[in-house]
Structure 1
Amino acid sequence: MPLLVVGISVLILLLLMTKLRLNGFAALLLVAVGVGVVRGIPLEKIPDVLSEGIGGQIGDTMLTIGLGAMVGRVMGDSGAAQRIAGKLLDAFGPRWVQVAMVVTSMLIGVTMFYEVAFIIIVPIAFTLVRVTGARLLWVGLPMSIALSTMHSFLPPHPGPTAVASTFHASIGLTLFYGLFIAVPVGALIALVWPRLPFIKAMNPAMPKGLVSEREFTDEEMPGLGWSLGVALFPVVLIAGAAVTDLATSAETPFLHFVAFIGSAPIALLLTLLLAVWAFGPRIGRSLADVSASCTSAAQAMAMILLVIGAGGAFKNVLVEGGISDYIKDATDSWSISPIILAWLIAVILRIALGSATVAVVTASGVVLPLLAGSGTHPEMMVLAVSCGSIAFSHVNDPGFWLFKEYFNLSVTDAIKVRTTYTTVLAILGLGGVLAVEWALDVLSL
């Protein structure tokens, strides 16, 4: 049974990494090869499947994560991150630092991918940890939860946008309804989860090389205007491109240019160039010092990128092994509410494959024929599929490894933290979708 293969492979991976202490990159590749053999992928094709999985995942994330890490380290080494963190503390106070992270993350995360926003905000979170003396998860976890919610529930993020096209749903209405669900649900989990006893029992140290450990005096730090300007520069570019894309379908050279500079890699490359000047020669730092910051960030990211790439290889083997086709065929005959069915299929695919994109695309294809005669609002179907695709993030999800490495957690602890919060988000999200659908039905009577 294909799902049994998935379950056993995950258990073997956990055994390799927790009991035998095998490096995550090697363990993921080893298990991926084993799954490929068991699922009948020809031996001569397995290396290509692994390479395609690594290439697809690294191609999507290396530019974003690498450039973002460099921007973050340049800001940290110049004191810009400390300046922003200090102003957040002044505005919210140490007692409300978690609220500050949730508000900041939700505002930035509405239009920015999880990985991009994570890389941009995490230096500020690290600085807040150092300045306040709070635990890393106390400050960082609300940020990650808020970003996960925005990324998974709302267009213009890739999953919800792709599903909206399948269901012919209004992206504007999907975003409007989704905010009523995502903001309260995300804020609730973000503020509750760090207070749970099993989370409070963890106290990971900040990872080395990703953050400056120096404390700056007020005179040494750049001004708030420059610090915020550089931090928000990619947000403005990416959000501007997203809003423009939603507002018009015209094809003009100017709109193509907006889409170009609003793509995550280009926006972050431009931000890095701005940061190099603004926090280098402009304030008297040599280009050699700034270059050293970039090099340090790249060195610290090397193993993270390898592990994320191996996670992509594992995911690709599962897809090529026919797991998604099996789940699609098995659920074709289920006779339940289209909203619940869409959510459930997305959850199953997410657990089995780790890919939110595959989960939402496959789930929407399965339930699309049921939508026509059901009377269900297509926007609610989009949100059901999207929030289902966040559930049970674990070792076959490359985002899981980004979270684990940046918060310096063991595999077991990362599962305890991330797998649980993503699952609760998905369940509460489904409840919110059903509630909004009921309200829309009542209002239409």
Structure 2
Amino acid sequence: MKRSFSIHPFIAFLLVSVAVGIIFGLPLKSIAGSLEKGIGDIMSALVILLVCGAMFGKIIAESGAAQRIASAMIAAVGVKHIQWAMMAIGFIIGIPLFYGVGFVLLVPLLFSVCYSSKISPVYAGLPMLAALSVTHGFLPPHPSPSALVVQFGADMSLTLILGLIIAIPAILVAGPLLARFLKNMDSKPLAAFVIEERPATELPGIFNSFFTALLPVLLLVTAALLTFLWPVKGAAIDVVAFLGSPSIVLLFSLVYAGIALGISRGMSMSTLTAHCISAVVSIAPILLIIAGSGALKQVLTDTGLSQSIATALNKLPLNPLVLGWLMAAILRAVIGSATVAGLTTAGIMTSYATESLSSPSFMVLAVGAGSLAFSHVNDAGFWMYKEYFNLTMKQTLLSWSVMETIVAIVGLIGVLILNFILH
């Protein structure tokens, strides 16, 4: 009997970092320092963002705001346009919630709607999942794009605005358009994955739900537009910079959500605290993966290997945005994790991106798009989709894997077009 072997990405990153340091001549006494510096540098910029983002998303889910948003969207468009409703729900919910949370939260609701309306779950679900995937790979404050922003030294607000522009066509093509060809795909979700909805009387109001869920995006976009359109001077510059800081935005949004969706609706502080603790536990593996990627990046930098790779890549006749996308896509196919693929690519491409004078925000989006490509059996999302929707391997490859790859390709095309227009 064959025994499977696996190792946690954090440990793998550390071991590879040590090995790279030894092989490429980094003094033994310096290796530990490089690991610590790399982890410290990347986590110092991301801990507040990711932890507050996770807590914020948990409150959105546990308060019933996510269910209220979903119900309101479906009621507004009716069953005839269920695809568009689910796509919009996935996009709105996907901005504050991590992919796994959004998936588990929205899929049971999707199954209930499809069961009552006799619509294929694949037909109605792909647009929603495409939206969740795009927000996960393209848009801050999600872990991978947020970490890529730090790695490439990009502007968070600008990356968010450009990501929103690119996200729309990617979702439309990979969602409603692809689903038209899969309308008759047979899917009978397992009963265990269909849960009861909470009574409407227990849910927060529509405005409260929408406004709170979208508050981080509204604040970041507002700050970016003010800086771009209004010549801020003097002390106002510091105020706008403070209010537009992603960490401050998410901290403020978290406090607001705790009050508007929690305390003001009778949720005790102990319950609110328990939800926040649960959120941090759920993202701990992601924090470790990002920390490990920071260690590898620092070792690559300290050994000079990163610069050597950048010099070698500079000789290839490829647009740096295409090269970043391709490298992330290959790593995604091999590794399975979009986050690991994106961060590993960033560690290699940082010096090259700087030398090639590519816009940092476009590099973030190109690598983020590539990290979503070619999802298959080594990706946890692949199996979540297969098991929840009760599909065969062939059906999963034809729907999920194709959807993820289309998102990645359309995302790259969008990046190249915007880069051409703006440069």
TM range (shorter): 0.5 to 0.7
SS in 1 for 2:202: coil
Q: Partner amino acid for 1:327?
A: I
1:189 maps to 2:174: yes
Quick check: 1:347–1:389 contact (8 Å CA) kept in 2?
Answer: yes
Quick check: 1:49–1:317 contact (8 Å CA) kept in 2?
Answer: yes
Q: Name the counterpart of 2:274.
A: 292
- What is the alpha-carbon distance in structure 2 between the residues aligned to residue 343 and residue 204 of structure 1? 42
Q: Name the counterpart of 1:71.
A: 56
- What is the alpha-carbon distance in structure 2 between the residues aligned to residue 160 and residue 235 of structure 1? 21
Q: Report deviation, 1:288.
A: 1.9
Residue 145 of structure 1: which of 134, 137, 142 is its match?
134
Quick check: 1:80–1:227 contact (8 Å CA) kept in 2?
Answer: yes
Q: Name the counterpart of 1:275.
A: 257
Q: Name the counterpart of 1:374.
A: none
Q: Let me know the Cα RMSD of the aligned residues.
A: 5.0
1:131 maps to 2:113: no
- What is the alpha-carbon distance in structure 2 between the residues aligned to residue 429 and residue 405 of structure 1? 19
- What is the alpha-carbon distance in structure 1 between the residues aligned to residue 63 and residue 164 of structure 2? 36
Residue 256 of structure 1: which of 220, 224, 238 is its match?
238
SS in 2 for 1:222: coil
Q: 1:54 to 1:183 in 2, by over 3 A?
A: same
Quick check: 1:50–1:316 contact (8 Å CA) kept in 2?
Answer: yes
Quick check: 2:220–2:244 contact (8 Å CA) kept in 1?
Answer: yes
Q: Name the counterpart of 1:51.
A: 36
Q: Report deviation, 1:70.
A: 1.3
- What is the alpha-carbon distance in structure 2 between the residues aligned to residue 439 and residue 259 of structure 1? 27
- What is the alpha-carbon distance in structure 2 between the residues aligned to residue 286 and residue 404 of structure 1? 35
Q: Name the counterpart of 2:337.
A: none
Q: Partner amino acid for 2:107?
A: V
- Measured against aligned partners, the alpha-carbon deviations of 1:305-362 in whole angstroms (never above 9, x if no partner) come to 223322332343334443432233224445x5xxx43334434665688446567764
Instruction: For 1:194-209, list aligned pairs within 5 A.
Output: none
Instruction: For 1:23-422, list aligned pairs within 5 A.
Output: 23-93=8-78, 99-100=84-85, 102-103=87-88, 117=95, 119=97, 123=101, 125-133=103-111, 138=126, 139-145=128-134, 148-149=137-138, 158=149, 183-191=168-176, 215-248=197-230, 250-334=232-316, 336=317, 340-347=318-325, 350=328, 354-355=342-343, 362-367=351-356, 388-390=366-368, 392-393=370-371
Q: Report deviation, 1:79.
A: 1.5
- What is the alpha-carbon distance in structure 2 between the residues aligned to residue 326 and residue 293 of structure 1? 46
- What is the alpha-carbon distance in structure 2 between the residues aligned to residue 206 and residue 244 of structure 1? 48
Identity of aligned residues (%): 28
SS in 2 for 1:144: helix
Q: 1:314 to 1:191 in 2, by over 3 A?
A: farther
- What is the alpha-carbon distance in structure 1 between the residues aligned to residue 150 and residue 106 of structure 2? 32
Q: Report deviation, 1:256.
A: 1.9
Q: 1:293 to 1:390 in 2, by over 3 A?
A: closer
- What is the alpha-carbon distance in structure 2 between the residues aligned to residue 234 and residue 28 of structure 1? 32
- What is the alpha-carbon distance in structure 2 between the residues aligned to residue 390 and residue 184 of structure 1? 15
Q: Partner amino acid for 1:256?
A: D
SS in 2 for 1:229: helix
Q: Report deviation, 1:48.
A: 1.9
- What is the alpha-carbon distance in structure 2 between the residues aligned to residue 205 and residue 264 of structure 1? 40
1:21 maps to 2:6: yes
Q: Name the counterpart of 2:335.
A: none
- What is the alpha-carbon distance in structure 2 between the residues aligned to residue 279 and residue 392 of structure 1? 36
Q: 1:420 to 1:51 in 2, by over 3 A?
A: farther
Q: Partner amino acid for 1:128?
A: L
Q: 1:392 to 1:308 in 2, by over 3 A?
A: same
> TM-score if structure 1 supplies the norm length?
0.64
- What is the alpha-carbon distance in structure 2 between the residues aligned to residue 434 and residue 71 of structure 1? 33
User: Structure 1 unaligned runs (5+)?
Assistant: 1-17, 110-116, 165-170, 208-212, 369-377, 395-402, 441-445
User: Structure 2 unaligned runs (5+)?
Assistant: 112-120, 332-340, 373-378, 387-392
Q: Report deviation, 1:51.
A: 1.8
Q: Partner amino acid for 2:168?
A: V
- What is the alpha-carbon distance in structure 2 between the residues aligned to residue 289 and residue 404 of structure 1? 30
Q: Report deviation, 1:83.
A: 0.9
Q: Report deviation, 1:274.
A: 1.5
- Measured against aligned partners, the alpha-carbon deviations of 1:212-250 in whole angstroms (never above 9, x if no partner) come to x77411111111111112112222211111112222454
Q: Partner amino acid for 1:131?
A: L
